[in-house]
Amino acid sequence: MIDIKKYCEYLYNSLYIPIYLYDNNELAACYPVQENDTLPPSFYLSNLWGTDKKVTYTLTRFYSYYGCIKIENCNSCIVVGPINDLPYSSDSLLVMVREFSNADCKVEAFSEFFHKIPVYNLDTFINTILFINYTVNNTELTSKDIKYSAEAQLDTSINQKYSERSYATKEEGIINNNLTIENELLRYIETGNVDQIEKFKFPIRSQNTRMGTIANNNLRQWKNMFIVTVTLTSRAAMKGGLTPSIAYELSNIYMQQVERLADVDAIKSLLGQVQRDYTNRVANSIFPATADNILHQVIQYVCENTNKHITVADVANHVCFSRPALSRKVKRELGFELSVFIRKCKLEESKDLLAFSDKSISEISNYLCFSSQSHFQKSFKDQYGITPQTFRKSM
């Protein structure tokens, strides 16, 4: 049997995540040595211990995680954490002071302790506690084998919370005006109204209006609002004619980008960029307002297959139309031939590749299935009035 205290000490010196050893639910050792006001709150410990699983983890109200590894054949366990995927902000630290419920807490020392903990994402943290379990218990588990324990105080009835908030807001005369604002914003995006999007501002909170609270600290509040807004924005853009593949891929990229930000002003700036980006893309799309389901399928199929050698016959087969009938329909409703649209989609994608990738002109030409590089260059110049090389330099 290993010296478990020495093991915990080595573990902390390797990871720099706080490590706690409990015997019969009593603290036996902690690394680093610390004041009582930074020890894990008892109600999170109760969640970790209140299960028969060997490895558990729980989420706190300040969006950090604690993990627990129960040591086999004894009444001891190792508690690890808290870890967070972002540095602690001043807002989150104020929440934490209340969570740790210590009237004598020295805020400066308290903040310094948590600022020293490295940033970890949840996947890395889960792998860490699985590794600890393997080295301590000599049992191999996967992430599917460990249990997430919900914090008991978060189990308050949704109906109860709704009733309390509804009562309070009515008593105070507060109006949740999200729907009016949301409809106005989404209408501009769906119609590709670039001018109005540039002018659009979220209204400043006044005494009798509010935006919904969806997090316990300001940074997480704005990240959650960002995710909700991007989701609604992408749906509005698809209704306005943006193809689903583009809309979904953009939302994925933007959501990954916002998680790397640790500043509210940067999040607000990125949110404005999202709205302008989607609105511009809708404005530049060619869906007529009267487009039916067949035309939607045609445009979506072409946009999603620009890297293939597709022909008018391929598109007609996809939508179960005869080639002549589909050609007439596209010409009538879009004002140009389907073959022209296929080439236009490929050239539009080439602009993005020229501007935002380091692929050579030859690679782009091959990727978009032009018959030759010279054919691609001629088509690009005919469409935009400049060569691909000149366009790339201008960007």
pLDDT tens for 63-111 read: 788 889 898 888 889 999 888 877 777 777 777 777 776 556 677 788 8
pLDDT, average across residues 271-294: 76
Does residue 61 sit in helix, strand or coil? coil
At 243 the pLDDT is 74
* pLDDT at site 211: 55
**Superfamily for the 293-394 domain:** Homeodomain-like (1.10.10.60)
Residues 295 and 283: their CA atoms lie apart, in Å, by: 17
* Mean pLDDT over the full length of the chain: 79
Cβ(223)–Cβ(216) under 8 Å?
no
Rg for the chain, CA atoms, rounded: 28
Sign of CA dihedral 27, 30, 35, 37: negative
- With cut-offs at 50, 70 and 90, classify the pLDDT of residue 156: very low
Q: How many Cβ atoms sit within 10 Å of the Cβ of residue 265? A: 9
Least Cα distance to 113 among 30, 4, 44 occurs for: 30
Q: Is 151 helix (H, G, I), strand (E, B) or coil?
A: coil
Q: Let me know how long the chain is.
A: 395
**Residue 362, C-beta contacts closer than 8 angstroms, at least 6 positions apart:** 373
Tally Cβ neighbours within 10 Å of residue 394. 9
Three-class secondary structure of residue 186 per DSSP: helix
Two tokens at 178?
């999200």
For the chain, the structural domain boundaries read 4-154, 175-284, 293-394
Q: Are 113 and 34 in contact (CB under 8 A)?
A: yes
- Exposed, middle or buried: residue 366 (CB in 10 Å: 0-12, 13-18, 19+)? middle
Q: What's the pTM?
A: 0.43
Cβ distance 120 to 128 under 8 Å?
A: yes
At 59, give phi and psi (nearest 5°).
Answer: -100, 135
Bridge-based pairing of strands 26-31 and 65-70 is unpaired
Q: What is the pLDDT of residue 19?
A: 93
Tokens of 38: 């930074």
